Structure formats: C-alpha cells, structure tokens
Amino acid sequence: MRVYCETYGCTMNRGDAELMLGQLAAAGHEVVPSPAKADAIIVNTCAVKGTTYRRMLRRLRELRNSNGKRVVVAGCLPLIDLASIEQIGVFAGIVSCRSVGEIAGVFERIAREEQNVRTLKQAPCEKPTMPKLRSSEVSAIVAICEGCTSNCSYCSVKFARGKLHSFDARSILSEAEAAINAGYREILLTAQDTAAYGLDTGANLPELLNSITSLEGKFKIRIGMMNPRNVKPILPE
C-alpha cells in the first residue's frame, strides 16, 4: 500500500511519524511524498491548544468528505477527544500516540478492507528500539521519555501522553550511536519535558548527556523543551 503521513505539532510527534513510517516500510508498504500519490493517509494530529485542535477537526472533515482515500487518525487527538473524531465519520483506522508500535498490524487489517481498525493503548511503548524512517538527513530525533509530571489545568497533552515514562538509557544510547554512525550530525533529544528524564527511574538528564557525549564521532546534541521546575535542580550538573 502507498502511504503518506502528514504530521502536526511537536518534535515528539515528528518522531512518532518517523517511527510509524519506518515500521510500515519494513512491512513492505511504500512511503510516498504527497497525498495525491497515496492509497492511505495518516493524519498525525496535535491537540495541544484550541486553534490547533479545531484545525485538526477541519482537516479530518476535509479528508473524510473529499478524496475517497483511506484515512488513519493518529497522534494526540484520539486519546484527548475520540468522540469528536467519531462524530466526523468512520475512518479506516484510529491509532493513539502510545500505540504507534502497532501501526503495521493496523495497516495489515486495512489492506484486507477492514474499516474502523482501532488501537488506543494507554501504556507507553519503547520507542528508541523501533525502526524509523528519518525525515532529515542531518538531525536524528531521539525520544528520551514520554508524558510529564504535572497536571496543568490548561493542557490536554497529559491525557494523550500520560504520566512520565523514561526510556531505557541503553536503548537511547544505542539509537544515538546508530544515528551518528549513519552520518547524522545532530542528535535531537525530545520529550514533553526533557528535564524530567529519569525522575521515575532514578536516572537523570545530566547522566544521560554525559553518556551520549562520550560516544565517538563528530556531532552536536540539541535538547528539546524543559519545564523550568524540573530543570532548575539539575542546572549545576
């Protein structure tokens, strides 16, 4: 099946798109550069704020009503507001941002002409260990944790990404090393809050950074967004 993915939102979402496309390519699907060439379109949604949320719903209506292609709704929206997706109509598939590891199985069922194939898993998957189809030739996105430690009343991302789950440092190092060996010159560490890395496991971000900087090769590290509350205690390190 020819697959196109349009992605909205943060770097973590971009990384999830690379992860989904990597699995689909490994399963024999063809990743194409435009929706016009695709048999199926993945809409990797963002719903972090009201304007983006409304834009996602408009886009889903457009795709549902206009082009006749198979549409799979992914990203944060399915766990934040599944009801609004259902009100638009029946889609080929719905995949939560914590179910991206099951995307190949979803497409296997869609290829058999099944409709409304859903995987809305709440538990996190170990993203650093999964195959990826990188969207950049220079910068490699490496997820270090998912979820957060806060419960901000204005933010809906907690409903999608859940509580903090830090990925295994060995898996992160392995992914970073593989990217460096493949010629990537920037390792982009991403999370909802990179400063929170390890708060659930006893590790911490400075230790992880020290391990990554010890890898051989010419590269730089870029660190994604941090919560000031969690970054202040580790600044001296």
Separation CA 110–CA 115 (nearest Å): 6
Contact call for residues 43 and 78 (beta carbons, < 8 A): no
- Which phi and psi (to 5°) does residue 95 adopt? -130, 125
Would you give the DSSP letter of residue 178?
H
Name the residue ranges covered by the structural domains of the chain.
2-119, 136-234
Quote the pLDDT of residue 114.
Answer: 94
pLDDT digits (tens, 9 = 90+) for 82-130: 999 999 999 999 999 999 999 999 999 999 999 999 999 888 889 999 9
Separation CA 78–CA 56 (nearest Å): 11
Q: Is 233 left (phi over 0), alpha (psi -120 to 50) or beta?
A: alpha
Please name the fold of domain 2-119: Rossmann fold (3.40.50)
Separation CA 164–CA 147 (nearest Å): 4
For the chain, the average pLDDT equals: 95
pLDDT digits (tens, 9 = 90+) for 66-87: 777 999 999 999 999 999 999 9
CA distances from 84 to 3, 7, 10, 78, 80 (A): 24, 19, 22, 9, 9
Confidence (pTM) = 0.94
- CATH hierarchy code of domain 136-234: 3.30.750.210
